[in-house]
Structure 1
C-alpha cells in the first residue's frame, strides 16, 4: 500500500509541473513586484482541475506597463495550494513598423542603403517588398483594369497597406498638373480678349491677364515643387508612374503648362522672351515624343492599339502649343516641324479612339470629362496654323470646325457628364474649353459679325465659369473634405502573379459581371 501511495504522489507531482515555456516565480523573489503602489495590476483567475478533479485557482498579476526583470537564476517550483504569481514579459514596440511599410518606395532606403550597410560590415536584411525594381510591363495589364489602368483587380494584392492612408507625396499624382493647364490657359484666353479685334467692345483691361498669369505661374511653381519632393523622397513611385502605360502621357503636362505660360505672358514679358527659351522648352517634349511615338509604332504591349486613351491627346497638344509659341516668336522651320509631327499622330490617335477604346470597356463615369480632350488638339492646331500662316485660312478653318463640332457634340450630352463624384479628372474640362474659345476669337477676327462675336463671348464665359467652379471645388475637396488625393493603387501593385484560387476566381467573375452591367447601364443613360 505504501508503494502505491508513493507512486500516486510521484505522478501527482509530475502532473503539477508547469510546461517548459512557463516559469514559476515566487512573489518574494522579486522586490516590489506584488506591492507596487504606482501600478494598476489586473488579476486573472484561471481555474485548473487536477487529477483528483479538485479545482484550484492561479492568480496572474498583469501590470499596466511591463517591468524589466532578470530571472536567469530562478528555479521551477511545483504548483501549490497557495496562489502563485507570474510576471508578464515585455511586449515589443511595433510603432516603427507602421512607418517602415513605405520604405521600399523611398529614394534612400532601397539598393543604395543596402550597399552602404554592406560597406560598413552590417549586412542589411532584404525584405520581400524591397525588390520592386524589376516590375515587368505585363504586370500593369495583369494587375490593373479599366481604360485608365488605375483599378486593382479583385485577385490582386498591393505591396502597401490598403486600409491605411498613405503619405501625401505617395498620393500626389502627376495628373495634378492638369490644374496648371486649366489656369494657365485662362491667361492665354484673357490676353486674347484684351488684344483681339473682335472683342474690343468688351474693353477688357490687360491687368486681368497679368493677374491670371501670376496666379498660374505661382500654381505651376507650387505643384512642381511638391512633385519635385516626390521625386526626391519617393523616386520609385515616380518611376512607376513613368513606366505606367497611361500615366506616362501626363509627363507632358508640366512642359505644356510652361509653354502655356509663355504664350499667355503679358506683352511686356512676352517681348523679352528669347528664342532660346523655345528650344529649351521643346527639347524635352521632343525627347518624350520620340519615346512615346516610337512605342506606339514599334508594337509590343505599349502599341497604340493597346494603350490608346483620351489622355494620349496630351502627347499631341504639346506639338501644337509649341508651334503657336514658336510662330509668335518669329521662328519658321521649328513650328512647322512640330505642327507636322503633331498632325500625323493626331490623325492616327483620333481614328483609334473614335472607332473604339482598345480595352473594349466603356469609360467609367468618373473619367467622362476626359472626353473633352478630343477638343483640345484640333482647336490648338487651328490657332497654331493661324500663327504660322499669319491668317485664318482654309487649314485653320478645317481644324476649327472639327473642334467646334466635337465641342457641341459633347456639350449636348448633359447626362453623360453628371452623377459622379469630383476628382482631378474634372480638370480635363478646362483647357480644351479655353482652347476652343481662343480659336473662336481667331475665327471671329477673320469672319467679323454679330454671330461670331456672340459665339466667342459665350465660349469664353463658359470656360471662365468652369475654371472658377473647379478651383473652388478643388480647394474644398483638398483642404476641407481632404479626399482629393486617395491612395494611388496603380503604383503599388506587386511584381508577383497571384494564385487564382477558387475564392478569388469567384470574386473576380462576380466583380467583372457587376462592372460590365454597370457600365452598360451608364452607357445607355448617356445615350
Structure 2
C-alpha cells in the first residue's frame, strides 16, 4: 500500500518535472528566436556560459527518473542529451582555451556544471546498455573535475572573494564527487576503494559547507540559491546508495539527514522564488 502510494507520488512528481522542463525549454527557444543577440552575449559571458549545459543535464535527469516508467522515451531523451552535452562541452572548452577576455576572477564553482553533466551520463546510460559511451563521458568529466577543482580553489583562496550572488554556487563542490560515486557504482556494479574515495570527498565537502550556512543565510535571496538543491540531492542519493551497497546504520542516518535537509531546502527555495516573483525581483536586468 505504502509502496504504491510512494510510487504514485513519484510518478506525479516526474510528470510535473517534465512539464516544468518543457515550459523552461519553450521559454528559452522563444528567447533564442526573439533575442538571439542576448543568447550570443550569454555564450560569450565567462559566468553565464557554464549554465548552458543545464539544458542537457535536465534531459539526463528526466531520463534517469523516467527509465523505469517510459524506457523508450528515456532512452531517446538520454541520446539527445548526450549529443547536446557533447556539443556544448566542446563549445565551452573551445571558449575557455581561445578566450579573449577571461580572467582568474571569472572562475567560480558554476564552471563545474559541464563536468557534472559528464559524470551524470552513466547513471542512466549504464542501465540503457550504453556502457562504453558512459565510460567516455565519465572519464572526461572526472578529468575536468580535478582540473577545475584546482582552479576554483586557487581563485577562492588567492583572489578576490566571490560576488554575493555566486556564493551559493560553492555548494556545487559537492556535486561532482557525489554524482561521480553513483555513476561509478552503476558502471562497476559495487562500492570499491575508488568509490569510497568519491563518496567521502562528497561527504567532506557537504559537512564543510554546512559550517558556512550561518554566513550564507545572511545573503539576500538570488535565484543562484537554487545551487543548494542539486548538490544536496546528489549527496542524499549517494548516501542511500552507500546504505544499499554496504548497509550500516551510519549511512542510513546520513541518508535520512540529507533527505530531510534537501526537502526543507527545496520547499524554502520554492517559497522564496514565488515571493521574489510576486515582488518582481527576479528576471530583471542586472
TM-score for the superposition, normalised by structure 2: 0.92
Aligned positions of 1:88-127 closer than 5 A = none
Cα separation, 1, equivalents of 2:186 and 2:73: 17
Alpha-carbon distance between aligned partners in 2 of 1:395 and 1:325, rounded to the nearest angstrom: 20
Structure 2 residue aligned with 1:283: 83
1:482 aligns with 2:286: no
2:51 alignment counterpart: 250
**1:114-168 Cα distance to aligned partner (Å, 9 max, x none):** xxxxxxxxxxxxxxxxxxxxxxxxxxxxxxxxxxxxxxxxxxxxxxxxxxxxxxx
CA displacement, residues 58-77 of structure 1 (integer Å, 9 cap, x when unaligned): xxxxxxxxxxxxxxxxxxxx
Displacement of 1:376 in angstroms is: 0.9
After superposition, residues 199-210 of structure 1 pair within 5 angstroms as: 205-210=6-11
Matched, 1:337 2:133: no
Provide the C-alpha distance between the structure 1 equivalents of 2:93 and 2:209, rounded to a whole number of angstroms.
Answer: 27
Change beyond 3 A, Cα 1:231–1:342: same
In our comparison, the structure showing a higher alpha carbon Rg is: 1
Q: Does 1:292 align with 2:92?
A: yes
Q: Which runs of 5+ in 2 are unaligned?
A: none
Total equivalences in the alignment: 285
- Whether the aligned pair in 2 keeps the contact of 1:230 and 1:238 (CA below 8 Å) is yes
> What do the CA deviations read for 1:181-220 (whole angstroms, capped 9, x no partner)?
xxxxxxxxxxxxxxxxxxx9x9972112112111111111
Change (3 A) 1:267 1:439: same
Matched residue, 1:129? none
Question: 2:132 & 2:7 partners in 1: Cα distance?
Answer: 31
Cα deviation 1:366-399 (Å, max 9, x = unaligned): 3221100101111000011110011122222111
How well do the aligned residues superpose, as a CA RMSD in angstroms? 2.2
Matches within 5 A, 1:64-103: none
Give the 3 Å change call, closer, same or farther, for CA 369–274 of structure 1 in structure 2.
closer
Instruction: Give, in whole Å, the separation in 2 of the partners of 1:486 and 1:424.
Output: 11
Shift of 1:293: 2.2
Does 1:419 find its partner at 2:234? Answer: no
Distance 2:16 2:173 in 1: 27
Rate the CA distance shift 1:359–1:230 in 2: closer, same or farther, 3 A. Answer: farther
Task: Report the Cα distance in structure 1 between the residues aligned to 2:5 and 2:158, rounded to whole angstroms.
Answer: 46
Deviation at 1:339, TM superposition (A): 0.5
Q: Please, what TM-score do these two structures have when normalized by structure 1?
A: 0.51
Q: Deviations over 1:318-365 (max 9, x none)?
A: 101112121121221100000000011110100111133499210133
CA contact 1:317–1:342 (8 Å) conserved in 2: yes
Post-superposition offset of 1:273: 3.9
The secondary structure found in structure 2 opposite 1:264 is helix
**The 10-residue stretch of structure 1 (224-233 or 276-285) with the greater mean CA deviation from structure 2:** 276-285
Alpha-carbon contact 1:375-1:406 (below 8 Å) kept:
yes
Q: In 2, distance between residues paired with 1:283 and 1:247?
A: 21
Cα separation, 2, equivalents of 1:367 and 1:299: 21
Asked if 1:227 is matched to 2:28, the reply is yes
Using CA pairs under 8 Å that are at least 6 residues apart, name the structure with larger relative contact order, 1 or 2: 1
When you count helix as a share of all residues, which structure comes out higher?
2
